[in-house]
Structure 1
Amino acid sequence: MLITHTFVKVIHAFNQQYNRAIFHLMKKIVLLFLFIITLPVIAQQDIKTLKYCVDPDWMPFEGVVNGKHTGIASDYLELFSQSLPYKFILVSTNSWKESTDFLKSGKCDLTLMLNSSAEREKYLTFSLPYFFGPNVLVTKGGMPFIQDLTAIGDMTLGVVSGYRLLEEIPMYYPEIKIKVLSSEEAGLLSVNQGDIDAFVGSLYSINLSINTLNLQSVKINGWISLQDKLRIGFTKPNAHLTPIFNKTIEKISSKQHNDILMRWSDVRVVKQTDYTVLYYFISGMSLLFIVFLWRYLVSIKISNALKHKNKELEQIREELLFVNKELEYLSFHDNLTNLYNRHYFMSTLNDHLNQLARQEIDSCILMVDLDFFKKINDEFGHAVGDKILQQFSALLLNALRAGDIAARWGGEEFVVLLPETDNNSSLTLAKRLIEAVEHHSFDLNINLTISIGVSQFKDNDTIESWIERADTALYQAKNEGRNCIKESL
């Protein structure tokens, strides 16, 4: 009896220990299950949502079709989505003006593709530029080619409301008569109807609009030096995102840039089959055979014609790409010396000035003038003078370092930006340039000297004051005998 009682107690204790083990095991299983089902929610909380606005009618750059974002900007957004932990939500608008109003009011966090400007910098912070494109002039077909905005003269120029060009053209060319238009389409139609003489806008969007609207009497008839440098614009509360997106922009390869451009500048012909053919039932098998034979021959003729048109369009597309590259180069460079032109220099200097505002680094400007150059033109002719300018430009480029920017300022005057360079280093480079000119053998054994003014950036400088101090130093060098260097105070 004692043995039986002891056995029962052992069995009871075993059951209690077994039940506790089962209970703890089930508890762990339930906790693991709850962790698994909440893991996607936790991960989703780490993904920040960014609302963005676009220009709904600016193809091929961007647009909204059936509520979906499309165009070049949408392809770049796909690259950003793959690299960054953000979810992008499109905020629909009816116009670019409405998009800018939403950005100002904070209804949107960013916009993907626009130029920077002084007005926009009041409410946006900009990323690095990631897409470049030339701006062109459109006129009626019979007008002569327009070299630049300086050749507009008394003509009326159309510009789209809210676009960056409406700020910069009056700044650089205050004498031009401007008519503000609601859209690019309205501008092209105004040229076609003779309401304005010329219209300015992006090459890629204008080329697409001319073809879409089937405007036969207008043409791209010139270019301007103000190019598009398209960037992401962040509202001020989201300015901290700028360096994050800049790193992603810097990682975009040339192949990815080219693939996107080719995808949206490609020209295609869509073959369509006409299913509305009326069949006549004619008695007799022989006549029916003749009808089918005739249709077969016609289809071959149409197919050959489409192949020929496709080949012609492909050739036109290749020519357009070549012309685009030529226009882009010409919009940045002086056509005589192949140095950068004045407008490109001013645009680059503006970007550099923004960098100087963020970083404590030294930078200098050199203003260079060829001494008694008018005398060379008068004695030897302008052809020889042009040759001297070209030879001096080659000497100037050879004397500079990688990263220095040289441009023809106008006539025989040149300007050089020396980034991350203090006053002493700038004076050393200027002396080296003067010696190179003195020892160079120019055409017809012409003895050439130069005068140089140097100015180092100061904390309170604007673009205008910085350049003016360099120009004042150059004027002093010319007054004190030329062939020398003077630095601004």
Structure 2
Amino acid sequence: MARVHFFGGTSLWHYKPALGRQVKGKVLYIKVSQKNYVKRLFITLIAGWFLLVLNPAAAQSSNDIGLTQAERDYLKAKKVVRVCVDPDRLPFDGVDEDRQHTGLSKDYFDIFSRMLGVEMVVPEVQDWNDLISKAKSRECDVVSQINASEKRKSFLDFTTPYFYLPLAVVTRYDRIFVEESLEGAGTQFAVIKGDIAIDKLRNRYPSIVLVEVKNNIQAMELVYDGKVFGYIGAQGAVAFAIQSLNLNKLAVTGSLPLRYELSVATRNDEPLLGSAFEKAILHLDPKEGQSIRDKWIAITIEKVADYTLLWLTLLVLGTVLVVSLYWNHYLAQANRKIRDTLNDLHNVQAQLKDQNRMFKRQSITDALTGIYNRLKLDEDLSYAVKRSERTKSEFSIILLDIDNFKQVNDRFGHLVGDELLKAFSSLLVSAIRKSDIVGRWGGEEFLIICPDTDLQGCGKLAEQLRKRIAEHEFPGKKVLNASLGVAVHQQEEKTDIMIARVDKALYRAKKLGRNRVETG
């Protein structure tokens, strides 16, 4: 756990990575002598000033988001909005030990509170089922993060989604996950009871065997004990749960072409509340939203009360009052020490920026091959769809899978398989155009996004790539072949539909004999 500790204030702040296992036990200290209380006081004040600079969102004022007079009158009369929060879905949603709202959604709702000019309070909720029950009985005005469904629309209105989460799969290290195993004989996967993802999974994988559990802790324990093959949940949230529970045998070993589309839901008997939240979401600053996502997905910031420092600070203040007549004598020396401390703080801030850049790079990079991972590909694909709709330009994608790669692992072992995956990734990077984006989709599958490319052009590129792979000599004089599916984006087509089409094209290439290109 990488931390920076500020000693000398009434609290202790530290930064903790929410994703990745590579950085452990690195602690950056600014330690103040226990003997010099005056210095501790100044460091407390300076550290607080820096924290304010590093969190400018807290100082932002509300802005005009186009509310009608009816909406303004409604909110003025409402005054307080009851926000129901899933207590067990950090880092995205949760409550702390004091029953206060925390997580990524809390930062968004701070912004909504400023925009709408109302106070947000969090009623006590036991679990997700209790949350839905309270929403039905109107004990909640708002649900902070939820997927829309026809059943839920009977008592809730839904805004435009403001956050997207792909589905990830957690297994033990000794089990290899591929998408085909979702419907394997006797294979079971844990899911949270009532999760909207259950319907998505059963629609895409009709034969899947799902074990519904109460929360992610129970799900992780079932996976850890080998009672189920894996756990399917929100990417980022499952990684956070693995680290929080310190389950070293578990890892996120795959992801699925499905995702949560999280909206704010409001009680549908007060439509003005829903229309006001819709306007707040549409007026979110994209940079502020990205800052919130970077904060909670790359690092989690925790505030830990340190009452010893509080008492010491009070003692410092009392001492300063008693010896104030002698202060001028030591002023020059104190100023010099303050300058030294400021320099130390600047150095630590620079190191924190470097660490944050590293965490962000790790969060979008596949650990084995060094190319983009599924999370980054999902973001780039969503951007490509929006750009295509805005500019009316075409783009295409290629989904390719190494043929019979399981036989390579079975015959030569996973170490050889890993080396071949690295070499295969390097070949793809060297073979594509500068404008193309390539990443590991999962297992031995790779995805290439080709901007400003129609179906015919992308098909030619895929065929050239297929030939180059077949003619390439990989480490150990091994020869690999690949099957490729190609699809062009159609106007107003969502990403999951496009992925489903190219996935079917890849499956057709496999079925027709492998080592070929098919279009979808």
Query: 1:212-244 deviations in whole A, cap 9, x for unaligned?
Result: xxxxxx945313345997844345864795575
Cα displacement string for residues 436-475 of structure 1 (whole angstroms, at most 9, x for unaligned residues): 6588675467777766443334579845751355226635
Letter in 2 for 1:474: A
Give a deviation string over 1:272-293, Cα, whole Å, max 9, x none.
Answer: 99xxxxxxxxxxxxxxxxxxxx
Map 1:399-418 to 2 at 5 A.
399-400=432-433, 402=435, 404-408=437-441, 411=444, 414-418=446-450
1:124-143, aligned counterparts within 5 Å?
A: 124-129=158-163
Alignment of 1:74-85 (within 5 A): 74-82=106-114, 84-85=115-116
Bigger radius of gyration = 1
What does residue 233 of structure 1 align with? 264
- 1:392 is paired with a residue whose SS is helix
Alignment of 1:221 onto 2:249: yes
For 2:440, the aligned partner's letter is: A
Alpha-carbon shift at residue 78 of structure 1 (Å): 1.5
For 1:55, the equivalent position in structure 2 comes to 85
Give the structure, 1 or 2, with the largest relative contact order (CA under 8 Å, sep 6 or more): 2
Is it true that 1:180 corresponds to 2:216 in the alignment? no
Q: Do the aligned partners of residues 204 and 127 (structure 1) sit closer, same or farther apart at CA in structure 2, a change above 3 Å counting?
A: same
Summarize deviations over 1:269-322 as a string: whole Å, max 9, x none.
66599xxxxxxxxxxxxxxxxxxxxxxxxxxxxxxxxxxxxxxxxxxxx9xx99
- The answer to whether the 8 A contact 1:371-1:451 is kept is yes
* Deviation sequence 1:410-444 (CA, Å, 0-9, x none): 55x54434466421342353355357658867546
Deviation, 1:252, is: 1.4
- Which residue of structure 1 aligns with residue 505 of structure 2? 470
Give the Å deviation of 1:329: 4.7
Which amino acid counterpart does residue 422 of structure 1 have in structure 2?
D
Tell me, yes or no, if the aligned pair for 1:127 and 1:242 is still in contact at 8 Å: no
Identity %: 18
- CA shift for structure 1 position 100: 3.1
Q: Specify the SS of the correspondent of 2:163.
A: coil
Q: 1:124 to 1:400 in 2, by over 3 A?
A: farther
Local SS of the residue matching 1:455: strand
What are the Cα deviations for residues 194-228 of structure 1, in whole angstroms up to 9, with x where unaligned?
99679957458747986xxxxxxx94531334599
Following superposition, the deviation at residue 129 of structure 1 comes to 2.3
Residue 429 of structure 1: aligned partner: 461
Structure 1: distance between partners of 2:475 and 2:260: 40
Which protein is richer in helix relative to its size? 1
**1:159 CA drift (Å):** 4.0
> 2: CA distance between counterparts of 1:245 and 1:463?
26
Match of 1:248, SS state, is coil
Deviation per CA, 1:332-381: give whole Å up to 9, x if none. Answer: 8474575536x987898799889989997644332435689899999999
Alignment equivalent of 1:366, drawn from 398, 405, 413: 398
CA contact (8 A) 1:147 1:223 kept: no
User: What is the rounded CA distance, in whole Å, between the counterparts of 2:458 and 2:71 in structure 1?
Assistant: 54
CA shift digits 1:98-140 (9 cap, x unpaired): 4335657887664323567898799644523278998867xxx
* Structure 1 contact 391–442 (Cα < 8 Å) conserved: yes
The correspondence for 1:340, drawn from 339, 353, 373, is 373
Please tell me whether the aligned partners of residues 75 and 260 of structure 1 are also in contact (alpha carbons under 8 angstroms). no
CA deviation after TM superposition for structure 1 residue 396, in Å: 1.9
TM-score of the two chains, using structure 1 as the length reference: 0.52
Query: Is the contact between residue 136 and residue 221 of structure 1 (CA under 8 Å) also seen in structure 2?
Result: no
Question: Take 1:190 and 1:388, find their aligned partners in 2: how far apart are those partners?
Answer: 33
The residue type equivalent to 1:248 in the other structure is: L
Q: Which residue identity is paired with 1:57?
A: P
Q: Could you say if the C-alpha distance between residues 476 and 55 of structure 1 is closer, same or farther in structure 2, counting changes exceeding 3 Å?
A: closer
Corresponding residue of 1:73: 105
* 1:92 paired residue number: 123
Note if contact 1:133-1:203 (Cα within 8 Å) is conserved in structure 2: no
RMSD, aligned α-carbons: 6.2
Contact 2:489 2:498 in 1 (8 A): no
- Partner of 2:162, secondary structure, is coil
Any idea what SS the aligned residue of 1:92 has?
coil
Structure 2 equivalent of residue 294 of structure 1 = none
Q: 1:441/1:269 Cα in 2 relative to 1: closer, same or farther (>3 Å)?
A: same
Matches within 5 A, 1:291-310: none
2:194 to 151, 158, 162: 162
AA of the residue aligned to 1:129? F
SS of residue paired to 1:75: helix
Find the aligned partners of 1:115 and 1:126 in 2 and give their Cα distance. 10
Mark the CA change 1:92 to 1:374 in structure 2 (over 3 Å): closer, same or farther. Answer: closer
Tell me if the contact between 1:234 and 1:242 (Cα under 8 Å) persists in the aligned partners: no
State the one-letter code of the partner of 2:251: W
Give the alignment's TM-score, normalised by structure 2.
0.49
Maintained 8 Å contact 1:156/1:198 = yes
Unaligned stretches of 5+ residues in structure 1 = 1-40, 138-142, 211-217, 274-317
